[in-house]
Structure 1
Amino acid sequence: MTAVNIELSLKLIDVFSGEADVRAAWGGRGSGKTRSFATMAVVRGYMFGMADIDSDLA
């Protein structure tokens, strides 16, 4: 297994902790929200794929 370090804004780490149906963040420009959400979407997709978890989003 390969380990990867993901860098997120410190303010957004709590947003991605735990289980949630919806995650949201708001604030000014330049805080990394778009990149953080895109990165975590890829990470969660990879995690679900490796754990063979189906999504109801299809």
Structure 2
Amino acid sequence: MYILSVPGMVIRWIFLAFTLYSLYLAAGVWGVVILSIWLAGAISATVLMYFIRALPQTCSTEVS
């Protein structure tokens, strides 16, 4: 199973935030802010669903 390290995830979130902030400065429109909020929520939901899906598998392997 491929699990991201915590520092790697933090670096990716910082890079994503910096990229979205740069887009906001370049475009100067509130649509970019709304898109960034939606994108952050979508990524968080995807990561959460992945860990919830992987949780029973790890628990079952630890028990047996």
Provide TM-score, normalisation by structure 2.
Answer: 0.43
Give the structure with the larger helix fraction. 2
Q: TM-score, normalised by structure 1?
A: 0.46
Higher RCO (C-alpha 8 Å, min separation 6): 1
Bigger Cα Rg: 2
